[in-house]
Structure 1
Amino acid sequence: MQTCPNCHQPITPGSRFCEHCGFDLESAPAKPAARRQAAGQHPKAKRPKSWLTRLIWGVLTVAVLVVIFLGVGFYHRQAGKPKQITLITDNITANQSTDLAKKLVSDDPSLKITSDTVQPFLDYTRKHPQYVKNMRSDLLNSGETRDHTFKLVTSGHTLGVLPVYKLQVATMHPRLSTNVANATIMANKTAVITAKNDHFTYTAGPLFPGHYTFKLSGSRSQASQTANLIGSQDRNQAIDLSAKAAKATKETTTKQTTADSGSGETPTPDDRPTTTKTGKAESDMSSDAQVAIDAASDEYGFDTDDETYTVSEPHPQVLEIKTYDADSGRHDDTFRYDQVHSIVSVYNSSTGKFETNDDDD
């Protein structure tokens, strides 16, 4: 139905003037559609997209998907979780304390993780290489070691998407006790605390898991204990540094008689018994030597503080440890420690060979 463009009332088709307002309908501008129809033109139909355009977009989409797929695969091979776990455990095996420290976080913020902090753990794993193998397997399978000491955590993302992993370590808090007042308790070569009385107890930590030698310092009384603080069962291990009664001093009486007078003569300095200090205390040895000494002590049951030591390397990655009585300087035993296989053997003078405990079976 046509309407007047002026008053918008219905009009009769073909009228020149509006019956309502008298508007000259022929003077009104024609609508575009009407003009096109009057000129014999028709609206243009929409042209469909060409098959070439659709093909180009399809190829681009496939290319993007392929790039994403290859990128994800490359990440998993070169920087994914398995690769990152392997790099961390390789740092442990290679004794790379500085690189290892960068890949660790602590469950206790007060523990500052450095190359020195992690050294007790590296000392432990050198004696127990199987621990690292189990560690790698556990982290790959469950993200946590079976002793609940190390757990894989996300510490950030590469490119905002790809996760970066670190190991969170559960710290150790051993319970120390001693009956020696004013003695300083040492953990390896680090002073922990000074005992305030002769019935002193103290919860140390946080300590990084690993192999430790606890001993008294700054006192004439001596006491020491070695401990492997490595699993959840060791987290609050009791360390007893109670000093034992001093050893009784042996008196040596030298009697000299003369054939005729029966009178005694005081021995000259060359005649008197002498004590020769040979070797060094364990605490003064290198970390490699300390690991070897501790392994020999564990295997053959001697107190590391009762001996002094000399350590040599007769063969690559084999250390020879000679032990001497700390009081008399007398040579006691000779051991060899295989650093690769963590095997200790003792020299048997009757056979002229180094033998292990297994050889006795």
Structure 2
Amino acid sequence: MKTCPNCHQQVAPDSIFCEHCGFDLRTAAATTPTKAHRSRRRNKAAKPGKKKSKWFSRGIWAILAVAVIVVIVLAGSFYNKQAGKEKQIATITDYITDNQSNDFAKKLVSDNPNLKIDGDTVQPLFTYARKHPNYVTNMKADLQKNGETRDHTFTLETTGHSFLVFPIYKLRVTTMHPVLTTNVANATLMANNQALVTSKNNHYTYKAGPLFPGRYTFKLSGSQSKASVTADLVASNAVSKHVDLIAQAAKKGHDVTNNNEDEATVSDATGGKVEDNTTSDDSDYDDDDNDTDSDSSYEDLSTDGQAAVDAIYYADYIDDENDYTYTESMPHDHVTEVKLYDDDGDHDGTYRYDDIHDILAEYNSSTGKFETVDTDD
């Protein structure tokens, strides 16, 4: 049995016309789609919708991806301003200026595992920085520019990451190992009031360390013989600096105290002298380049000499400290004089630097006087 599409009454299978309404069943058979045809039509009708849905989904994912990238870029920019490399370096060096020794110690690692770094350990550097205030300024600039101080004492080092992405920085410190010599037996060798060792004989040599960089006063204790030396152990050329704790015998047989500031004049037990390379004062100053001192590279200069060259560099009088050789002297306490020589050995200028007042002066040959240089940025 089949159904008439017009009146929906059942008709005989072989009927050509509907017995009820007379509808031509042949016409209905020709226009009625088969199930397969209807299925194909439904599939075709569905395809445009799926294509639209697919493009919509891709658009959503693209928007999300862009949003994630924007968030990452903004987060990175915020981090760099608030806790990035430059900010971390500024924070570390500010700890020195602000005398926050405990916080500074937490930002350090040592090249020698035997050195325990804490707030007390770093005090010699803080003492040195108070006498050489430009050292911290130079330290900050060098770390940001090169990742290392020009005296090779401190190096920036990555010790971890925040959020698995942003680096955490600390300073690796180069430890000091001064060589102490004394002519007094059974005396305690002291470094900033900390006992190091007891001398075993009257020609005793001891390699101290590891010590944190900075300013130290070495002296003898526990003996009638007295000797004291103040030394700045900061630059790489001071790592194994020789310090002579030599007690001078007086005429009546008693030992006397010898206080010398870093490389000042000292006398040994035989009466011989170790002289520094001081020059005459300004009144008889001679700039004829007849210095007896041999030329030194920047690395070979003393700590005070390097500080003077640093001041010249930051005043924009030279482009690179390594382009010159130097001779240095100390015409007055805390005043270092350096002469600059170019690659041809020609004299290129004479300067004096007062490390207490952070004053730089240049020698003017036409007036015969030193004239203050403006070091303001």
Matches within 5 A, 1:12-161: 37=36, 40-42=38-40, 44-45=43-44, 46=47, 47-50=50-53, 52-161=56-165
Shift of 1:64: 1.1
Match of 1:191 among 195, 205, 219: 195
- Give the 3-state SS of the residue equivalent to 2:249 in structure 1: coil
**Cα RMSD after superposing both structures:** 3.1
The residue that corresponds to 1:178 in the other structure is 182
User: For each residue in 1:323-359, what CA deviation from the matched residue of structure 2 results, as whole angstroms up to 9, or x when unmatched?
Assistant: xxxxxxxxxxxxxxxxxx8349xxxxxxxxxxxxx9x
User: For each residue in 1:253-293, what CA deviation from the matched residue of structure 2 results, as whole angstroms up to 9, or x when unmatched?
Assistant: xxxxxxxxxxxxxxxxxxxxxxxxxxxx9xxxxxxxxxxx9
- Give the 3-state SS of the residue equivalent to 1:41 in structure 2: helix
The residue that corresponds to 2:243 in the other structure is 239
Shift of 1:52: 4.4
Structure 1 spans left out of the alignment, 5+ residues: 1-34, 251-280, 282-292, 304-340, 345-357
Shift of 1:151: 0.0
Q: Distance in 1 between matches of 2:238 and 2:202?
A: 25
Matches within 5 A, 1:299-310: none
Matches within 5 A, 1:194-273: 194-246=198-250, 248=252
- Give the counterpart letter for 1:41 in structure 2: S
- Give the 3-state SS of the residue equivalent to 1:191 in structure 2: strand
Q: Distance in 1 between matches of 2:265 and 2:35?
A: 111
Question: How many pairs were matched up?
Answer: 232
Shift of 1:44: 1.7
Q: Distance in 1 between matches of 2:203 and 2:163?
A: 57
Shift of 1:57: 2.8
Q: Distance in 2 between matches of 1:249 and 1:108?
A: 43
The residue that corresponds to 1:342 in the other structure is 356
Q: Distance in 1 between matches of 2:121 and 2:38?
A: 93
Q: Distance in 1 between matches of 2:233 and 2:251?
A: 31
- Give the counterpart letter for 2:217 in structure 1: T
**Corresponding position: 1:164 with 2:178:** no
Q: Distance in 2 between matches of 1:181 and 1:343?
A: 41
Structure 2 spans left out of the alignment, 5+ residues: 1-33, 268-354, 359-369, 371-377
Q: Distance in 1 between matches of 2:94 and 2:134?
A: 13
The residue that corresponds to 2:285 in the other structure is none
User: For each residue in 1:123-158, what CA deviation from the matched residue of structure 2 results, as whole angstroms up to 9, or x when unmatched?
Assistant: 001100111111111101110000100000011111
- Identity across matched positions, percent: 56
Q: 1:156 to 1:49 in 2, by over 3 A?
A: same
Q: 1:52 to 1:217 in 2, by over 3 A?
A: same
Q: Distance in 1 between matches of 2:39 and 2:228?
A: 108
Q: 1:48 to 1:202 in 2, by over 3 A?
A: same
Shift of 1:301: 9.1
Q: Distance in 2 between matches of 1:156 and 1:69?
A: 21
Q: Distance in 2 between matches of 1:150 and 1:52?
A: 56
Shift of 1:159: 1.1
- Give the counterpart letter for 1:44 in structure 2: N
Q: Distance in 1 between matches of 2:63 and 2:248?
A: 84
Shift of 1:302: 11
Q: 1:117 to 1:247 in 2, by over 3 A?
A: farther
